[in-house]
Structures are given as C-alpha cells and as structure tokens.
C-alpha cells in the first residue's frame, strides 16, 4: 500500500451503512463522496474522450482538443495514441481530474450515428487495440481511463429507452470485443455502462453483462460506473454489479437503497462489494497526487501543440490523387473556398465538446504554408452550418469593449419582479451555455433566469440573421427590437442532449460600422412547455445564440465558380466542405448522410469549371459524395482538434506524406449500408439485423463496392511488401498460442513516407458456419522509409485464439476452429498484399480473455491476465 492509499478493509469496517450508501453515488456532476473522518477523499471525473473539459460544461476552462476518435482510428498508430493518452493524463492533472471518461468504443453500425465521430472504428480489433493504447497512455500518468459505453450504445435515437436486439455471436465478436481487448490489455481502473437495453435489460442492471462476463469471465476488478443519469433501479443495478451511480444527487441510492437493504432486496455483503470497488478506485486515483477539489488551469504548451499537429496531420486520409495533383505548391496563387474553409471545425458536439486553447482553420493553415499570405484568396461559396455560428466572439461588452458579452443570472423573472437584481454577473465569450453544472449559492433550484448583453458591430451592410436555441424559453432583441421569439410558440428539437428546441431565427437589416445592442432574455428548462419523452433531462437546460450575415446562395456559388475557373488568377484551388458539431452530436442521429444543402452543388460546379480542384471533407463519419468520380484529388480530414487547419495544410502541401487509412467504410449511398433497415428505435427496439456483418464484413460478403472501403488510404509515394514469414507458436492451451508475422516493406516511390500494414485472417474453407471473408486481426504503422529504403518489420505477436475464433452459441464459448486459415498483410496501393496459410490442427473452445493481451499492466488493478 502506498502512503496515500487507504486500507480498504479497515475503512470498510468503520463505515456506517449511511456512509457506505453515500459512497455509491456522486455528490454533483463530477465528484464522488468524501468521508474525511476515515481519510477517504472525493474523486473528480471529467469527459473524455477527445480532451479534458474539466468540471464545467458551462463556461469551462479551455483545454487541449485532440482529433476526434475516428480521426485517431485513421492513424492506425498505437504509439501515437499512447502518447496522446499520456497527454490526456497530463491534461487531467491540469483540470484536477483523477478519472477520464473515455475512450468511447462503441461501433459505427452505419454512417448516421450522432456520436459516430467519438468511437475509433467499425472494426472491433482496431477499436479495442487503440483503446488499450489510449488507456495505457492515460494510466502512465496515474490517471484512470474509463472505456465507455458497455455496450451496444451505437445510436442516439431514444438512447436511454431503446432495446438493442443482438445475437450473442455479434455481441461477442463485434460489440464486446473492443472492451475485452482494452480491459484485458490495459486494465483500466473504470468502465462505464451504456444507457440502452441489451436484449431486454438495461446494461447498467444486467447481471449477465456486468457480473458474468465483465467480472467473472474477464476477471475485471475495476469500478463500474453508470452513464450520467443511466442508473434506472435500486436493487437490480446494485445486484448486477453497478458500483457507482453518476451524477449526484442520487436518484436511487439514498433512502431508497437503505429501504432495499432493510427489506433484504440488496444484501449488505453486496453493498460491501460495491463499496470495495469504489475504494479501490479511490486508491488508484490517489496515485496521481492530485489534491481534492483542485483548481482548474490551462497548460497550453508548445509540446502539446506539436503533438496535436502531428495527430491532426497524420489522421488525414488521402482518398484520391489522380495525376498527382497533390501535394500543392506553396509558391503558387491559391483559391480556398467552401463552408469549412474559414471556420474552425475542430470537434463534434455533446459531452465530447470542449472549449479549445485555440483553434486553426484550413484557410489559416494554408495561408501559413504559402510563401506569402497574399498568394491565398478566399470565397465562401455556401454556408454549411445547421445552426448559425456562435455569436459570442462576434460581440463585445458595452462597458469595456472586451470581446464577448455579459451574462447575468436572476432568481426571479422580469415579469415577477421588474426591479430584480442579478445574483451573478459573468463575462463570457462562448454564446452556447449548457447549464447542467452551473452553480451559485443563491441559485437553489433549476428554475432561474438569465440575460445576455453584448454589442454587435457589423463589418458589412446587409441583412443579418440571429438564432436562438433553448432548453427553456428565450427572446432575442437587437436595439430593443424583438428579432427572435423562442417562447410564445415552441417546437421540440434535439438540442442540449435532446431536450431543447431547434434554432429559431429572425433577421434584421444592419449598417456596417454601427453599434447594435444584442439582448437575450432566457428562462431555464422548467419554464418551457415542451414535454419530451425518452431522453434524459440534464437539469436546468441551456441557451445558444448564433448570428451571421445572410448570403444569397446562388450569387455566392456563382462567384466561387467564376473565381475557380479563372486559371490566370489562381494556379490551384482547394474546396473545403463537410459537417460540424451542429450536424454530428450526442443527443441525436443524422437524418441522412448528405452534406448540408448547397455543398454538393458547389462542389459539382467548381469541379466542372476547375477539374483539378482539391476537395477536403471534414466530418466525423461518412457523407455522400455524388461528385466523387469527378474529383481528382480528395482528402478526408475529420474533426482535427486544435490543430485541424494546420494538419490539413501539412498534408495538402506535402510536409506530411499521408499514411492514414479509413477506420470505417464510406458507402456510396445510405441505402447501401448494412444497418440501413435497422437504424433507429422502432417500437422501443432496434434490431442488429446485419449480425456480425458490420462495415467491411458486409460489403465483402455481398460483393458490393462501397465508395471507399475500410482501410483505404493513399500516399504520395508507393510501397511494396514481400517475404512474408509466419511463425506459429502453438501450445496445448489455445489462449497462449500466437502468430508472429514478419514482412519486408519497401518504399518504391520518390518521397519519404510511412506505411500502414493491415493484417487480415480469412477463415478455413471448411468452416462450419458462414464467417466474414476476412477480418482485421492486427495492424502496424511502419515509421517513415526513405525513397528506395526497405525494412523487415516484425509485427507484434497476434493471439492465435482471437485470430481464428468465432463465438459458438451452442457452447457459449469461443471456438478456435480446426482448418487452414490464410493471413493477408495488406499495404498501401492496389494489389500490395502478401499472404500465407497456417493450420490449426484441432478445434478448441475457450472463454475468458486471451493470450498476448495482458502483456503488461500499467497502473492496472489486476496486473495479470
Ligand atoms: C455521455 C457520457 C459522458 C457523460 C458525462 C453522457 O451523456 O453519454 O459519455 O461521459 O454524459 O458528460
């Protein structure tokens, strides 16, 4: 026991029943209960996964923002992910957080998932392996990582109510496998359950999942915490194994739990088991030496920026590059256009979102690359936002001219008391205020009132739109004139995790240079008349204020096409399109796979006028690209975090030679994807009808060509693999056996570049049941090779058990089936595949984890496989 650690059994013996119960739920949004008399400190938790937001959704302290997890998935680079995990651990220290709520390792069954951007991949091995690296990095700083959400939380629609109906085989082979790999190898100290039901029972109270699989079969000894407001029962959840209900104040573990103990629905020894888990987590947390209730600070360091820039650039996937249009030339005149060019699209929406230390736009990144910034021109083309861009940073305060606005909080409405006095006055810049964790001693209920005041000075004369989105009620005035009424008649929307309205808009003509007073009157969620079903209520709600000059789309597209066509004015053209956090967010799924209205027409017309224009797409999940066959040069650039714009520019200009590969398949149309008929809650359930044929497993099996396959990604150089040798180390115990491939990789092109190797295994032709044609079993990023250089790469050993097994529902066990398997090592470029067969002599069943996964335990709770 370390000096700061508590003696769990001694503490347990001294805790009163009330204290034990109090330890089993949070005290607020982000903290657990302290028992000072026994030296038990409070532990702080923070979201995850692409940064550490700290304890405040509301007006939070800025943080480092990593690329979203689909971007990280595209790197196929365990070392990089481990380094980023370590950075997250350091960021946790800056925010005083002992526990990081990430990584997210659900599976993208289809392109529409609102949180698809937040998970690594459609493939369980890529997802679980990168999650293990992420957790190891976080743990190396003595911070507790929390893989989430166990399990089948793969859509947002009715996420707390939906019953995910899935076969045991798909559950094991696709949805649980990332957790099995991550928990087995990295032994993270915490695990979060999902909101939904799995085959009829909510995951947070499912004994089969929590007790039988996670604890008994996988021997997991860490904490199991509910998703926020995802505990639904007293006895069932406790008896199944859910240790901690979050957030506080508790709904299920105060007097209700005492009553359940009194009536013997929950045994006291079960309570002791749950308390032990919490205390083990407290001990793990103490290793970080983070004091209780630490202040939250920024640590915006050059080394952080450098790592984030590497992550942003190394996640960009080169989808097409006909005629070697890319890389671009930094000394040429460049036109940059499109909705995503001049705005920082750095992260998706929901609990993953955070205010970043700083952001970079593609336009800024490109300007910084060219030999002179004057070489770069910009034109908008179309807008891409769903909600108007946030207004906060376009305002300044009347009092001192600071960027931002004044936020005042009242406990009474203006109508009730015209002479009311604000209990709190803040200066804010973000005009999206989600109040879940706003606290003030005089604010004693969820019913309160807010005003927002700032000065807007337009730079151009014209028609301006203002938008107001609320979970609550709101009115927006410009110079005393009511421009938006989101109070009198309200519509149900999906904002603020599904509880708020859509954006309501109004417009007004403004004159350049004139100062206008913008004023918003807002009442919190309980003042709304809307009643919403099947979503969790996040307390007092929130308000979002946006604004932008209205553009005439037809004219703006015309102008963009005219400029792009002018080859004498511009040598090269970059079109930046995509989605943003309005479109991809926790709380709702996308209704379709298309780009925002107008974007496709813009790209079509620009490509017709300028066939060598380079198209850059930023999205967390696939979008339809009806113009893809006309685009010669095409990049997929995700939400790249703080350094998104610089990362894109690094690849456009060839300072980074792309090696990234798609971590999920891009279908041609939505209807082509395997979850098409089963992707929303209908009658309270969603059928996982595609079974194990998720993503590429489906496209391979039915022989349908998607737009871009999982694993696709080009380079500015070329590679060839040869000389595959495969050492099979078999043992009588299937879980110890391994495959050790090695292969020679040669850079056959003219530029230095890194290579990604994907290792697939195809089942024996004699297999007893239908299996995917091939499945990813391992991958490896080969560091940069100079032109002409070749290197023999020894891939890390692969568990033979996992490489060969399917889940046998008749035996409730994995079956490593006898037969001749084929191992393919796939490199970059058409036909760059080397293959070899290997034989499993006899069929063997196994359960538990598997060999070669628990190679080392970093800050783990078990420390062994
Ligand atoms: C999300 C979790 C998150 C939690 C706390 C929930 O809505 O599903 O992923 O960690 O909120 O913000």
Q: What is the pLDDT of residues 197-250, one digit of tens each?
A: 999 999 999 999 999 999 999 999 999 999 999 999 999 999 999 999 999 989
End-of-domain residue from the set 549, 572, 594: 549
Positive/negative CA dihedral, 459, 464, 465, 468: positive
Q: Would you place residue 535 in the very low, low, confident or very high pLDDT band (cuts 50, 70, 90)? A: low
* Residue 437 CB less than 6 A away from ligand 1: no
At which residue do the structure tokens 């599976």 appear? 107
Q: Measured from the CA of 101, which atom of ligand 1 is nearest?
A: 10
Cα torsion angle, 434, 191, 2, 6, sign: positive
Closest ligand 1 atom number to CA of residue 247: 5
Q: Residue 641 contacts by C-beta under 8 Å, 6 or more apart in sequence?
A: 50, 51, 64, 65, 66, 67, 68, 71, 308, 311, 312, 346, 347, 356
The ligand 1 atom at the shortest distance from the C-alpha of residue 195 is 8
**Residue (of 627, 618, 615) closest to 578 by Cα position:** 618
96: nearest Cα among 60, 132, 128, 65: 60
Distances (CA, A) of 765 to 74, 273, 739, 772, 817: 31, 48, 20, 11, 11
Select from 549, 566, 587 the last residue of a domain.
549
Q: Is 69 in the pocket of ligand 1 (CB under 6 A)?
A: no
Tell me what percent of the residues of the chain surpass a pLDDT of 70.
97
Q: Which of 253, 311, 282 is nearest to 50 (CA)?
A: 311
Same domain, 742 and 844: yes
pLDDT digits (tens, 9 = 90+) for 673-696: 999 999 999 999 999 999 999 999
Residue 745 has pLDDT above 80, yes or no: yes
Atom number of ligand 1 nearest to Cα 148 = 9
Whether 472 and 601 share a structural domain = no
Q: Cα–Cα distances in Å, from 795 out to 233, 467, 715, 728, 782?
A: 47, 53, 21, 13, 10
Q: What's 671's DSSP letter? A: G
Extract the tokens encoding 827. Answer: 């490199």
CA 518, chain centre distance (Å): 34
- 475: region left, alpha or beta (phi > 0 left; psi from -120 to 50 alpha): beta
Residue with CA at minimum distance from ligand 1 atom 5: 228
Pair (524, 593) in one structural domain? no
Which CA distances in Å does 123 have to 110, 168, 698, 710? 12, 17, 12, 9
Check which CATH number belongs to the domain holding 614 and give it.
3.40.50.1700
Tell whether ligand 1 has an atom less than 6 A from the beta carbon of residue 47.
yes
Q: Ligand 1 centre from 565 Cα, in Å?
A: 47
CA–centroid distance, 101 to ligand 1, in Å, is 8
- Best mutation site among 228, 244, 354, 495 for ligand 1 pocket (most ligand atoms within 8 Å of CB): 228
**Cα–Cα dist 475/415, whole Å:** 13
**Ligand 1: residue whose CA is nearest its atom 7:** 228
Q: Is residue 662 part of a domain?
A: yes
Three-class HEC string of 269-332? HHHHHHHHHHHHHHHHHHCCCCCCCCCCCCCCCHHHHHHHHHHHHHCCEEEEEHHHCCCCCCCC
Q: Which of 47, 434, 495 to mutate to test the pocket of ligand 1 (most atoms within 8 A of CB)?
A: 47
Task: Calculate how far, in angstroms, residue 86's C-alpha sits from the geometric centre of ligand 1.
Answer: 21
Residue 855 belongs to a domain with what CATH number? 2.60.40.10
Helix (H) or strand (E) holding 368: helix 362-369
Say if residue 865's pLDDT is above 50.
no
Looking at the structure, tell me whether residues 498 and 621 fall in a common domain.
no
Does the C-beta of 351 come closer than 6 Å to ligand 1?
A: yes
Residue 529: CB atoms within 10 Å:
8
**Nearest alpha carbon, ligand 1 atom 4:** 228
How confident is residue 4, by pLDDT bands cut at 50, 70 and 90?
confident
Cα 230 to averaged position of ligand 1 atoms, centre (Å):
9
For ligand 1, whether the C-beta of 101 sits within 6 Å is yes
Ligand 1 atom closest to the CA of 153, numbered from 1: 8
How many Å lie between the centroid of ligand 1 and the Cα of residue 148?
A: 9
Nearest atom in ligand 1 to the alpha carbon of residue 47 is: 10
Instruction: Kindly give the distance from the C-alpha atom of residue 13 to the centroid of ligand 1, in angstroms, as a whole number.
Output: 33
- Asked, for residue 589, whether it belongs to a domain, the answer is yes
- The finding on whether 228 has its CB within 6 A of some atom of ligand 1 is yes
Residue nearest to atom 3 of ligand 1 (CA): 351
Atom 11 (ligand 1) nearest CA: 228
Q: What is the reported pLDDT for 854?
A: 31
Say if residues 185 and 864 touch (Cβ distance below 8 Å).
no
Sheet of strand 805-808: strand arrangement: 805-808, 813-816, 844-846
**Residue 756 within any structural domain of the chain:** yes
311 shares its domain with 323: yes
Label residues 696-730 b or e (16+ Cβ within 10 Å = b). Answer: bbbbbbeeeebbbbbbbbbbbbbbbbeebebebee
- Asked whether residue 558 falls in the same domain as residue 540, the answer is no
pLDDT of residue 534: 62
Range(s) of the domain holding residue 622: 306-384+554-702
pLDDT tens-digit map of 142-160: 999 999 999 999 999 999 9
- Adjacency order of strands within the sheet including 144-145: 45-47, 99-101, 144-145
pLDDT at 732 exceeding the cut of 90: no
3-class DSSP assignment, residue 388 = coil
**Ligand 1 in reach of 747 Cβ (< 6 A):** no
Pair 225, 102: CB distance under 8 Å: no
Active site (catalytic) residues: 227
Q: Which pLDDT value is given to residue 805?
A: 96
Does pLDDT of 532 surpass 80? no
The answer to whether residues 459 and 528 belong to one domain is yes
| DSSP three-state, residue 210 | helix
Q: What is the rounded radius of gyration, in angstroms, for the C-alpha atoms of the chain?
A: 27
* Sequence-separated (6 or more) residues with CB below 8 Å from residue 459: 512, 513
Is residue 157 a contact partner of residue 680, using CB atoms and an 8 Å limit? yes
Residue showing tokens 């992420």:
134
CA atoms of 345 and 579, how far apart (whole Å): 8
Instruction: Give domain status of residue 217, yes or no.
Output: no
pLDDT in tens, 64-94: 999 999 999 999 999 999 999 999 999 999 9
CA proximity to 137, closest of 191, 92, 193: 92
Please state, as a whole number, how many other Cβ atoms lie within 10 Å of the Cβ of residue 303. Answer: 10
CB-count exposure of residue 66 (10 Å: 0-12, 13-18, 19+)? buried
Residue with tokens 């400029």: 563
pLDDT at 624: 98
Give tens-digit pLDDT for 266-321.
999 999 999 999 999 999 999 999 999 999 999 999 999 999 999 999 999 999 99
Please name the residue whose Cα sits nearest to atom 8 of ligand 1: 227
pLDDT computed for residue 398 by the predictor: 87
Q: How many whole angstroms from 711 Cα to the centroid of ligand 1?
A: 29
Kindly state whether residues 676 and 560 are assigned to the same domain.
yes
Q: Is 496 in the pocket of ligand 1 (CB under 6 A)?
A: no
Beta bridge partners of 371: none
Asked if residue 200 is part of any domain, the answer here is no
> Domain end: 502, 530, 549, which one?
549
Q: Dump pLDDT digits (tens) for 787-820.
A: 999 999 999 899 999 999 999 999 999 999 999 9
Of all atoms in ligand 1, which is nearest to the CA of residue 538?
A: 7
Does ligand 1 come within 6 angstroms of the Cβ of 194?
no
Rounded to whole angstroms, how far apart are CA atoms 576 and 539? 38
DSSP readout, 772-825? -S-EEEEEEEEEEE-TT-EEEEEPPPEEHHHHHEEEETTTTEEEE--EEEEEEE
pLDDT the model gives residue 2: 62
Q: From the CA of 351, how far away is ligand 1's center (Å)?
A: 6
CA of 361 to the centre of ligand 1 (A): 28
Q: State the Cα–Cα distance between residues 110 and 622, nearest whole angstrom.
A: 9
Q: Do 343 and 321 sit in the same domain of this protein?
A: yes
The answer to whether residue 269 sits within a structural domain is no
Going by C-alpha positions, the residue among 381, 323, 363 that lies closest to residue 612 is: 323
Residue among 26, 229, 586 to mutate when testing ligand 1 (max atoms within 8 A of CB): 586
Out of 351, 354, 588, give the residue to mutate to test ligand 1, the one with the largest number of ligand atoms within 8 Å of its CB: 351
Distance CA 537, CA 496 (A): 9
Cα 53 to ligand 1 centroid, rounded to whole Å: 12
Expressed in angstroms and rounded, the spacing between residue 102 Cα and the centre of ligand 1 is: 9
Residue 536 alpha carbon, nearest atom of ligand 1: 7
pLDDT higher than threshold 60 for residue 861: no
pLDDT the model gives residue 849: 86
Helix (H) or strand (E) holding 524: none
Determine which residue's CA is closest to atom 6 belonging to ligand 1: 228
Residue 851 reports pLDDT greater than 50: no
3-state secondary structure 628-663: HHHCCEEEECCCCHHHHHHHHHHHHCCCCCCCCCCC
Distance 149 CA to ligand 1 centre (A): 9
User: Can you tell me the mean pLDDT for 118-136?
Assistant: 98
Contact (CB, 8 A) for 404 and 429: yes
Judgement on whether residues 541 and 583 belong to the same structural domain of the protein: no
Looking at the fold, whether 411 and 313 belong to one and the same domain comes out as: no
Beta bridge partner(s), residue 32? 26
Find the Cα–Cα–Cα–Cα dihedral 844, 849, 854, 857, rounded to 10°.
-160
Q: Per-residue pLDDT tens for 635-672?
A: 999 999 999 999 999 999 999 999 999 999 999 999 99
Give the span between the Cα atoms of 665 and 706, in whole angstroms: 7
Nearest CA to ligand 1 atom 12: 351
Q: Please, are residues 119 and 108 in contact by the beta-carbon 8 Å criterion? A: yes
- 427 occurs within a structural domain: yes
CATH number at residue 530: 2.60.120.260
Q: Is 717 helix (H, G, I), strand (E, B) or coil?
A: coil
564, 668: one domain: yes
Q: How far away, in angstroms, is 228 Cα from ligand 1 center?
A: 6
> Does residue 235 lie within any of the structural domains?
no
**What percent of the chain is modeled with pLDDT above 90?**
93
- Length of the chain in terms of residues written: 865
pLDDT higher than 90, residue 498:
no
Number of separate domains in the chain: 3
- 388-430 tens-digit pLDDT: 999 998 999 988 899 999 999 999 999 999 999 999 999 999 9
In the sheet that 614-618 helps form, which strands lie side by side, from edge to edge? 317-321, 633-636, 614-618, 572-578, 334-337, 376-379
Q: Mean of the pLDDT values across residues 14-31?
A: 97
């Amino acid at each position: 026991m370390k000096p700061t650690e508590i003696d769990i059994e001694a503490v347990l013996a001294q805790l009163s029943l009330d204290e034990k119960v109090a330890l089993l739920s949070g005290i607020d949004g982000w903290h657990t209960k302290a028992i000072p008399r026994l030296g038990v400190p409070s532990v702080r938790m923070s979201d995850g996964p692409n940064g550490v937001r700290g304890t405040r959704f509301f007006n939070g302290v800025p943080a480092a923002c990593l690329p979203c997890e689909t971007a990280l998935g595209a790197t196929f680079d365990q070392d990089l992910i481990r380094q980023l995990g370590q950075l997250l651990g350091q960021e946790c220290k800056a925010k005083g957080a002992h526990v990081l709520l990430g990584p997210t390792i659900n599976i993208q069954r289809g392109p529409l998932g609102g949180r698809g951007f937040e998970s690594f991949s459609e493939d369980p091995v890529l997802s679980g392996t990168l999650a293990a690296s992420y957790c190891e990095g976080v743990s190396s700083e003595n911070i507790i990582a929390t893989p989430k959400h166990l399990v089948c939380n793969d859509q947002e629609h009715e996420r707390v109510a939906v019953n995910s109906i899935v076969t045991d085989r798909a559950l094991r082979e696709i949805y649980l496998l990332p957790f099995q790999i991550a928990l087995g190898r990295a032994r993270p100290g915490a695990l979060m359950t999902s909101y939904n039901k799995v085959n009829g029972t909510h995951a947070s109270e499912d004994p089969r999942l929590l007790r039988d699989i996670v604890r008994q079969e996988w021997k997991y000894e860490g904490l199991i915490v509910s998703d926020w407001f995802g505990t639904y029962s007293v006895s069932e959840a406790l008896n199944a194994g859910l240790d901690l209900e979050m957030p506080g104040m508790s709904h299920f573990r105060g007097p209700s739990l005492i009553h359940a103990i009194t009536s013997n629905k929950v045994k006291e020894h079960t309570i002791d088991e749950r308390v032990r888990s919490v205390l083990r987590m407290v001990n793990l947390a103490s290793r970080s030496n983070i004091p209780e209730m630490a202040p939250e600070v920024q640590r915006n360091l050059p080394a952080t920026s450098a790592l984030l820039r590497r992550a942003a650039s190394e996640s960009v996937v080169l989808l097409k590059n006909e005629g070697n249009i890319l890389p671009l030339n930094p000394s040429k005149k460049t036109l940059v256009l499109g909705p995503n060019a001049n705005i920082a699209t750095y992260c998706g929406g929901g609990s993953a979102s955070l205010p970043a230390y700083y952001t970079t736009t593609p336009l800024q990144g490109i300007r910084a690359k060219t030999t002179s910034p004057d070489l770069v021109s910009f034109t908008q083309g179309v807008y891409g936002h769903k909600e108007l861009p946030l207004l906060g940073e376009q305002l300044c305060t009347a009092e001192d001219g600071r960027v931002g606005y004044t936020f005042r909080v009242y406990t009474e409405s203006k109508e009730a008391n015209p002479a009311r006095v604000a209990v709190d006055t803040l200066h804010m810049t973000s005009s999206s205020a989600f109040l879940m964790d706003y606290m003030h001693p005089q604010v004693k209920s969820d019913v309160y009132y807010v005003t927002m005041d700032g000065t807007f000075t337009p730079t151009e004369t014209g028609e301006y739109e203002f938008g107001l989105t609320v979970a609550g009620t709101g009115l927006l005035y410009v110079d005393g004139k009511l421009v938006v009424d989101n109070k009198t008649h309200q519509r149900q929307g999906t904002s603020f995790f599904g509880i708020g309205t859509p954006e309501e808009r109004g417009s007004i003509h403004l004159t350049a240079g004139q100062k206008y007073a913008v004023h918003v009157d807002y009442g919190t969620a309980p003042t709304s008349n809307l009643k919403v079903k099947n979503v969790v209520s996040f307390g007092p709600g929130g308000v979002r204020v946006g604004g932008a000059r209205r553009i005439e789309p037809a004219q703006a597209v015309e102008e963009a096409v005219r400029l792009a066509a002018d080859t004498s004015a511009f040598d090269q053209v970059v079109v930046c399109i995509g989605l943003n956090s309005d479109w991809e967010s926790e709380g709702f799924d996308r209704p379709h796979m298309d780009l925002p209205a107008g974007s496709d027409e813009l790209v079509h017309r620009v490509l017709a006028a300028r066939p060598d224009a380079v198209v850059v797409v930023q999205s967390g999940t696939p979008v339809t690209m009806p113009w893809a066959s006309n685009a010669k040069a095409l990049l997929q650039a995700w939400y790249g975090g703080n350094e998104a714009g610089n990362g894109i520019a690094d690849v456009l200009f060839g300072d980074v030679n792309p090696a990234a590969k798609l971590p999920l398949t891009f279908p041609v149309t939505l209807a082509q994807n395997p979850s098409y008929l089963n992707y929303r809650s209908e009658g309270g359930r969603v059928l996982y009808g595609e079974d194990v044929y998720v993503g590429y497993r489906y496209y391979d099996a039915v022989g349908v060509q998607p737009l871009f396959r999982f694993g696709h990604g080009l380079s500015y150089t070329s590679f060839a693999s040869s000389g595959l040798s495969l050492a099979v180390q078999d043992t009588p115990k299937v879980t110890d056996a391994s495959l050790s491939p090695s292969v020679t990789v040669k850079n056959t092109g003219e530029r230095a570049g890194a290579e990604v190797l994907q290792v697939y295994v195809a089942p024996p032709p004699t297999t007893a049941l239908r299996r995917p044609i091939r499945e990813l079993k391992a991958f490896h990023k080969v560091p940069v090779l100079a032109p002409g250089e070749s290197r023999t790469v020894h891939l890390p050993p692969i568990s033979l058990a996992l490489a060969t097994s399917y889940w046998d529902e008749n035996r409730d066990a994995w079956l490593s089936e006898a037969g001749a398997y084929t191992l393919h090592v796939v490199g970059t470029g058409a036909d760059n595949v080397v293959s070899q067969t290997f034989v499993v002599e006899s069929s063997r069943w196994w359960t538990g984890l598997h060999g070669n996964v628990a190679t080392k335990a970093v800050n783990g709770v078990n420390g062994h496989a």
